[in-house]
């Protein structure tokens, strides 16, 4: 049956950035579909909160605090995670406020390391075992700003140009595209999801009511993303039913990028 192709029972998923926001939402979606979880993030308390929610679906949940920009942490993550069938790379951040002309090398490297190198490194560490088992799913979280530029008029009063963030999210698609044909012969699918306008812990403090109104006006569905909007996309790309989908990008943006 078609719904059986969406079941994640007997699968084990590792989600980075799982303690808050979009990572939390997608982790809960995978748990509801039956996947056991390994939750990764820097703050144990946040991960434990998500673990308690996910456990209510009757799945096994493991919490592993780790900074995915540190090699010793990702090595520990690999060693303690056990078998991973689904890797969901969500951990990320944006540049500090300021003009692109003032972006320092240190800031550039900080964002590119977290948003771009870390997901690639985790693919290096976890994909080979998937290839050996001839089954696996990798989901990279990009952004609508990995496909288009930023209209400053939608952020009135905010000096947010974020060149490293934009470059990193464009690069996430590059990672997805270069790995897809290399993993496909082994039954491993890699895809990306590009969320549109969601408000969460990362951006809530910087968005004024005027900015939120502009963001809503720029979305054809005339609302921002909610706590359920990414779950189904993540479940589908993680599922057996996505076995013929690889190297693709699912945009979940309420129509933001059609204008």
Residues carrying an active site annotation: 165
Q: Residue 197 has what DSSP assignment?
A: S
Q: Would you give the distance in Å from CA 34 to the centre of its chain?
A: 19
Exposure letters 41-66 (e unless 16+ CB within 10 A, then b): bbeeebbebbbeebeeeebebbbbbb
Residue 97: strand, helix, or coil: coil
Tell me the CA distances in angstroms from 160 to 109, 151, 164, one per residue in order: 18, 10, 11
Let me know: does 186 contact 131? Beta carbons within 8 Å: yes
Q: Residue 20 has what DSSP assignment?
A: S
């Amino acid at each position: 049956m078609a719904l059986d192709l969406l079941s994640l029972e007997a699968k084990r998923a590792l989600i980075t950035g799982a303690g808050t926001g979009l990572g939390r939402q997608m982790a809960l979606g995978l748990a509801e579909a039956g996947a056991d979880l390994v939750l990764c993030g820097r703050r144990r308390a946040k991960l434990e909160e998500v673990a308690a929610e996910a456990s209510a679906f009757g799945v096994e949940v493991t919490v592993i605090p780790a900074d995915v920009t540190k090699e010793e942490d990702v090595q520990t993550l690999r060693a303690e995670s056990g078998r991973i069938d689904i890797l969901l790379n969500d951990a990320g951040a944006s540049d500090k406020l300021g003009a692109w002309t003032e972006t320092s090398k240190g800031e550039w490297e900080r964002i590119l390391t977290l948003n771009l190198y870390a997901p690639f490194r985790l693919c290096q560490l976890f994909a080979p075992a998937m290839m050996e088992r001839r089954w696996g799913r990798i989901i990279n979280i990009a952004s609508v700003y990995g496909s288009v530029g930023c209209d400053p008029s939608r952020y009135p009063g905010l000096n947010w140009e974020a060149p490293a963030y934009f470059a990193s999210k464009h690069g996430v698609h590059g990672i997805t595209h270069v790995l897809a044909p290399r993993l496909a012969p082994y039954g491993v699918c890699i895809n990306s999801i590009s969320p549109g306008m969601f408000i969460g812990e990362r951006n809530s403090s910087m968005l004024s009511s005027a900015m939120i109104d502009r963001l809503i006006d720029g979305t054809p569905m005339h609302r921002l993303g909610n706590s359920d909007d990414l779950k189904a996309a993540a479940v589908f790309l993680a599922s057996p039913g996505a076995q013929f989908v690889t190297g693709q990008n699912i945009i979940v943006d309420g129509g933001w990028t059609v204008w």
